[in-house]
Amino acid sequence: MLTKNPSTILGTILVLFSGGVLYLVSQFSTAAEEFRALSPKFFPDFLGWVLLVLGTIIFVQGVRRPPALVFSDRPEKAAVVRAVLFVFLVGAYLYFLPALGFVVVTALFMLAAQFLLGEKHVILNILRTGVFVFLVNYLFSSLLRVPLPLGPWGF
């Protein structure tokens, strides 16, 4: 049985992943930087650095905790079913995104994902979903000028 601390493993994975993201972003073309205030490299570069910092924090927290089991002997059946359903939910999200548009599909995805993860407060789920979808749509469409898929209704 693997007895390292789960936080050290997760932190290591995040640090390695963020290193890969930062390396790939550094390979992007810099031609657009002359014409825009924010280059196309800004957002992925920012996310790479955030992942690096958060991964390091998780790793350090894991080092300070005593070793614990990473995996239990057998996962619960309900957790396995929810994980498989979540994978299918992500596949459905990607399939319907071009046809129905970002706003509708993301809202339905978030509501279903919160239900699968065990959140039972319907009103709170709807409020969270509405705020998140509005903010992400505004951020990408208006501020960053990144076109998101539009549905047949024009949003």
**Mean pLDDT in the chain?**
83
Residues 93, 109: contact at Cβ < 8 Å? yes
The predicted-structure confidence for 82-126, as pLDDT tens digits, reads as follows 989 999 999 999 999 888 989 999 999 999 999 998 888 899 999
Residues 62, 8: contact at Cβ < 8 Å? yes
Give the per-residue pLDDT at 110.
95
Give me 38's structure tokens: 């924010």
Least confident of 3-7, 40-44, 96-100: 3-7
| Gap between the Cα atoms of 138 and 126, Å rounded | 18
Give the per-residue pLDDT at 72.
61
pLDDT value at 36 more than 70: no
The predicted-structure confidence for 18-33, as pLDDT tens digits, reads as follows 888 888 878 776 665 6
